[in-house]
Structure formats: C-alpha cells, structure tokens
Structure 1
C-alpha cells in the first residue's frame, strides 16, 4: 500500500473520533495466544499493517484463526508447526516485524525452544534486544546466535524462576520475560519492570488464563509459575498515542473535537501535558472534549523558567507523543524545550517543520527548542517523506494545519500504526486523499 497523502490544510475540523485499539498492546497480546492450546478471543484489534503481519505469522505457525467480526478474532494454538519457525520464510517474515521478538517467551515457555531472525522495524536509532535475551537466559534458557544467517535460537529443558533486575524498563522485554515466567518452576520476581497500561493488560489477561502474577502496575512483578494456562477473552485498550495525536490535531486546526471512549484512567499524564501547552480539554465521562480555541499559551514553570517536556518510562510521558508535542508547540504562544531522552534519532524530522515555517532550534539529537508562532504565521504546505510511524503522524497534523497543499510520501510508515487514518480524518472534514 505504498502511496502518498495529498492534504489541503488550514481547514477547521469538527465532530467525534474513536481511537483504534492499541498497537503496542496488540503485539504483546497476540504473542500470548501461544501459551495455551485452548481458544483465546481478542477484541478491538486494530486493522493495521504491523498487527496484521503478526496475525499472518501466527497463521503460518499453525495457529487456527477465526475472524468473528471486524477487529474481533479467536486464536487457537493447539497444533503448532515448528518447521515454519526454522524456515527461510520465517526468517524473512519475522525480520520485517520487530514485535515478533515477543514470540520468544511464549515459545520457550510452552515448547522449550524458540527461534528469531534479527528484527527490523522503525529507524529511530538503536533499540537493543539485550534485555529480552538476558532475562530469558536468567530463567534457564541457553542462547546461541548464528551470525551467518542472522538467526537467534533459545532452548531450555525447563525454565526456573528467579530474581531478575532489568537494566532498562523495556516494555517488550518485560512482556517477553513475563510470558516465559508464567509457566516456569517456582517464583520469578522482575524488578525495574515496565508498568505501562499495555503491560498491565497483558498481566491481567494471563491471570485470567490461570497465571499467578502480582504487583501489576508497579515496577516489581512477582510471578508464581503454574503448570498450564487455559483460554480467555480479552478486549484491548484504546491507543493512547492516537488519543494524544487527536488532542494535538484539534489545537493545531482550531477545531472542536470529541475523542470517544478513551479509558481516562489509563492515560497517565498525557492530558495534563497537553494542558501545559495551553490546550483546553475536559473530561466528559470516558470522552475527551476539546473546544475550538483561537490560541493556546504555554505555561512556564513556577519560577518563570521555560517549560521542558521530556519522555520517561511509564508513568512518565510516553516518547511516542513527543513528536506531537513538538508540532503542537509550533503554533502555541510561548517557548518550550522538547527533550527526547529514550531514542536518539526521533527528532530528525524537525527540518521538515522548519521548511514549513516553524521556528525550531535543534540543539542536539535529543533536544529541540520550539518558539511558538501563536497562529500568527500558519505553517506552509510542502512535500515531505514520513521517516517513521510517529513522526509520520506528527507531519500529518502539521500538514492539516498548514496553508496550501502538502504531499506526504512513504505513507506505509503511517499505515503501519494507524487504521484508515485518512477515512477517519475525512469524517471530521479534513481534505485528505490517497494518491
């Protein structure tokens, strides 16, 4: 589906938009279906490239897949084909999808062996996998790497629980180790565990399947191993990155938008962070209502110094929304320093915003100072290429607020993470088409 979006910006939008199911939760939950031979039904699965590719890999792996309705599937892993995992096809398929790394923990737990090609995914600097392998090795797996074929393999006669202190609170790393530990012998404790809502969702689902995990939501998880897991039903949370994106879109386009069913209690400090940029938003039940506003003014710190927005592991601010904060700040009144701590090349799309007329000083690969234009000088439409999935969405928002026509190429980077984004934007009144 490689193509481009053509956008005529500067239009006010209005209406309601419903966020899709969470991409990053889906990748974990779908790997967990391998832990039982009973059926597992999952609802609110986003219809996006990365998730669909993982579902295809599960199908090739021998999992029976039944589509109940849009975004609602039943999986049953009672007849797994291990030849596929060692095949050239899997080396090709698995390498294209970073999320497939989370198949390792479940494979190891249930079958005692696991294989994985070197993964691909976003170009946002190094994303090491050491946390995954160290944790699985500590549980008793032996690890080998075939550097001719770029192929990892793990095997274990049995996994034995122990205390594991992670060097980084990696979400996918924690998920992998949790899925391996639920059927290990004895007790596993994971310290400096990621505590994202999506990981909490995974742990709650595993507990419904018969696992024994406590400390959910904290950075110390305790897992008492069990012999066997059974089937369950699971509904995924809405995607918080998308929710944050729509808040930013409303502000940039001076639009009145209601974001439906956001699951407020799982949004952490996302709403407050946008409020610091001066964006008005209010809670209406489980919805976020954003009134149309002509201007928004960035607050300063109490001592009068310039506001800094930086990312941190949950419950801090998610790095996936910093690119949105940066775009929204370009039309705010005031100045903000955006500090991207966790990934080193996520800010390299700012040159495109500068081309559009934004006032941004890129201090270094991690920090950018944005001087807001207060909607006095709209951004100008331009032609650009989406470098990664989150920057792609940020550029889309910039284009929707800009005067004139913009073209965004390489939009499969956006399609990888957002379901029917152009259709949902047109429903709000946006002038966007695929070409």
Structure 2
C-alpha cells in the first residue's frame, strides 16, 4: 500500500504506546514451522508487510494456517507441496522478501532439498548470504547457483554435524544453520554464532519442539541432532527497534510517554545508550516511563572526550537504532559522533536532516558528527522520501518534532516494518495523516 504521510510537527505527545511483536524474530520463527508436521501456534506476530508476505508464501507452499486472533496463528506443515518451491510463482514471491532465505535451512533439514531465488531487499552489499551457504555445505549439502535463472539449489541426502566457524556473526545465517543442524546426524558446533535475543527465542522454541541446543545466548552453540521435532506454542518478544524509536520520539517532542511491556531483560545496552544522550528513562515493572524533558545533555566520556555511539553485533548496540540516535542527537545539548560500522550507505539520509536545519557533518559513509541544537532552533518541516525501513522511521520522528508541515513519500518502506504506525501515533496525540 503506497502512499504519503502528512505530518504537522512540534506537538507535545502524551500517553502509552505498546511495541509490536519483533519483525526479525517473526521471520525466523515462521520459517522454523516447516521443521515439523505437527501444529505450531505463534502469538504476537506483527501485522506488517514483510511478515504477511512470508505467511502468504507458507500458505502457497501448502502449510495449513489458522488465524485465531490478531497476531495469533497456528501453522501445520504436514502436507507441503514441494512443486511450488520449484515454480515460477515462488521465484517471483521469494525474490521480493529477503527473509525468505531462512526457508532454506528447514527445507534442507526436513526434505533434503531447498531452492531460493536471489533475494531482493536492502542494498547493503552481496556478501551476506555466503555465510548461509558455507554453513550448509559444511553440513554436507551440495550447493549450486544458476546464474541465468538467479536461482540457488541445495541438495543433501543426509546432513551431518560438524564444527563450523562463521566468518561473520550473521543473524539470519546463524538461524538458517541452526535450523538445518537440529535434524542433522550427530553434533554440530557453531562458533562466532550471532546471539541476539531473537536467536535465543528461536533456539528456545526449537528445544521445546524436541531439539537439543546448548550454549544459547553465547557465541558457541552446540546442537545434538534429533530425528523428529514436534509442535509447540511460541510468543514473540516486543520489537526492540520500535522501543528505541519511541524513546527517541519522546525526547525529540519533549513528551511524557510510557512504553508498555518492553521485556527489559532483552533490551541489552539500548536503555543506557539513550541515557548517555541525556534522556531520562525509568523502569516501572516491564514498562519504560519517559518524563517530559525540556532538554537533554549528552554525556562526555570520563576523560572529557566527545561521546561516540557505534553499532556492533549483539550484545553491542543494534545498527537498526543508529538512525534514531542520530536524529535524537540533533536536538541534544552537546556533540556526538555516530559511527555506523556494520553497513555502508545507512547514513545517507542525513542530507534530509540537514535540509531541516540539523547541524551534521557527514565525515564519510560511516561517520557523522552531530552538533545538538538543544531545542533552541527546532527542525523545519520539509518534503522527503523514505529510503529504507529504519531511516524512514527516523525521518518520521524528525518530522514530528519539526515546526510546520512535512511530507514523507514512499511510506511502504515504513509499512514494511511498522504496524499501523500512524494510527498508534495519533492515539498519543500526533498530527499525522495518510494520504
């Protein structure tokens, strides 16, 4: 659903907002349902474009899907139609969704073969999928890439456990290899494994289904292969990127906001990273309470040098929230260096913020220095196009804090990752309409 947001900024907001289920977790968990022929019930699934598309792909694949309530579904993959995976239709559907790559591990494990079109999604370099295929090959799969058809083919009579050292701690790569290894013969050990909360959720769910995974939450996973997995129930964590976004929104708009049910134990360094920017946020049970603040002062390092915020694999600060930190810093009191280490071209949306009056020096594709305006001269509304999911949300927050009217086009990029975001913002007083 394409469209445009029209926003009148500069309004103080107030109230409670509940984060949606985690997008990145949902994509992994929904692929894992292929590992069993028994029923798996999943709750708190976010109603967003990328996730809904994956559910449609599973339905076309012959998975029986029952919707119990909003975000609450049962899946039963007891009679899947493997011809669909080899069809032109899947070639079209699968290519539109990067997350569909995680269907490969379960297909390979349960059916001995897997096919996947070259995925679309974000333009952040090609290397990232190598980790997946190296892992499958180590477990004993044959891998073929058909250049002409842009088609990956994997086959394996029997996967066999192995010690695998990943060259990068890829989240989707780790998830894919885990899902292949749970039904392999013998023991698999994955070192330099990603250890995000979403991966811990996947491992815990697989263990409830009968898998034997130990080392969960560390970067060394040990997986004893089993012959069969059964059904289970699973509830998604709240989306930590949304939680971080709402913290930033509260600070930028000087608003008093309570973020409900955030599962504090899974937030890692996120709350403290925002505290370093001077934002007051308090824990109240499982909620985050942010009082209205006239200003927030960036802390310096102990020796007096300028604060740097950079991303790193978990338990470091998630790259998905750097764009939010950057926006929030534009109205802070003080200066911060934002260093985007993990991806190129994620900082290229700063020109939009500069147009709005922000004081930002883009040092290179990876680093930006932000000189905060201390809410003394607010950002000005402008017209802009959302480049990707995360930058889109950051620009939305900038627009809500700016004086005057802003227009954001290409909002399907925001809808890909955020459920009914305009409706939920209106509920706390934002002036935002979808055109």
Residues 41, 73 of structure 2: 8 Å contact kept: yes
Structure 2: which 5+ residue stretches go unaligned? none
Shift of 1:125: 4.2
Shift of 1:116: 0.3
Residues 128, 170 of structure 2: 8 Å contact kept: no
Residues 281, 290 of structure 2: 8 Å contact kept: yes
Shift of 1:306: 0.2
Shift of 1:196: 0.1
Query: Using a 3 Å threshold, how does the CA distance of structure 1 residues 426 and 320 change in structure 2: closer, same or farther?
Result: same
Shift of 1:124: 3.7
Shift of 1:217: 0.2
Aligned residues: 435
Query: Using a 3 Å threshold, how does the CA distance of structure 1 residues 294 and 25 change in structure 2: closer, same or farther?
Result: same
Show the counterpart of 1:41. Answer: 41
Instruction: Indicate the SS of the match to 1:188.
Output: strand
Residues 124, 388 of structure 1: 8 Å contact kept: no
Instruction: Indicate the SS of the match to 1:258.
Output: strand
Instruction: Indicate the SS of the match to 2:204.
Output: helix
CA distance in 2, matches of 1:369, 1:196: 28
Shift of 1:126: 4.2
What value does the CA root-mean-square deviation take over the aligned residues? 0.5
Query: Using a 3 Å threshold, how does the CA distance of structure 1 residues 127 and 372 change in structure 2: closer, same or farther?
Result: farther
Shift of 1:119: 0.2
String of CA shifts for 1:66-89, please: whole Å, max 9, x gaps: 000000000000011111100011
Q: How does 1:267-346 map to 2 (within 5 A)?
A: 267-346=267-346
CA distance in 1, matches of 2:340, 2:59: 37
CA distance in 1, matches of 2:128, 2:148: 20
Show the counterpart of 2:181. Answer: 181
2:179 is the counterpart of 1:191? no
CA distance in 2, matches of 1:321, 1:333: 20
CA distance in 1, matches of 2:88, 2:317: 40
* TM-score, length basis structure 2: 1.00
CA distance in 1, matches of 2:320, 2:102: 20
Instruction: Indicate the SS of the match to 1:28.
Output: helix
CA distance in 1, matches of 2:303, 2:408: 41
Query: Using a 3 Å threshold, how does the CA distance of structure 1 residues 127 and 404 change in structure 2: closer, same or farther?
Result: farther
Shift of 1:166: 0.2
CA distance in 2, matches of 1:317, 1:126: 23
Query: Using a 3 Å threshold, how does the CA distance of structure 1 residues 340 and 434 change in structure 2: closer, same or farther?
Result: same
* TM-score, length basis structure 1: 1.00
Structure 1: which 5+ residue stretches go unaligned? none
String of CA shifts for 1:342-371, please: whole Å, max 9, x gaps: 000100000000000000000000000000
2:71 is the counterpart of 1:71? yes
Shift of 1:123: 2.9
2:110 is the counterpart of 1:110? yes
Instruction: Indicate the SS of the match to 2:67.
Output: strand
Residues 137, 143 of structure 2: 8 Å contact kept: yes
String of CA shifts for 1:321-345, please: whole Å, max 9, x gaps: 0000000000000000000000001
Residues 123, 387 of structure 1: 8 Å contact kept: no
CA distance in 1, matches of 2:83, 2:178: 26
CA distance in 2, matches of 1:372, 1:412: 30
Residues 310, 340 of structure 1: 8 Å contact kept: yes
Q: How does 1:36-435 map to 2 (within 5 A)?
A: 36-126=36-126, 128-435=128-435
CA distance in 2, matches of 1:123, 1:239: 23
Instruction: Indicate the SS of the match to 1:110.
Output: helix
CA distance in 1, matches of 2:294, 2:417: 30
CA distance in 2, matches of 1:251, 1:86: 50
CA distance in 2, matches of 1:125, 1:210: 36
Query: Using a 3 Å threshold, how does the CA distance of structure 1 residues 93 and 385 change in structure 2: closer, same or farther?
Result: same
Show the counterpart of 2:28. Answer: 28
CA distance in 1, matches of 2:124, 2:168: 17
Shift of 1:30: 0.1
CA distance in 2, matches of 1:423, 1:342: 32
Shift of 1:127: 5.4
CA distance in 2, matches of 1:179, 1:311: 27
Residues 126, 343 of structure 1: 8 Å contact kept: no
Shift of 1:122: 1.8
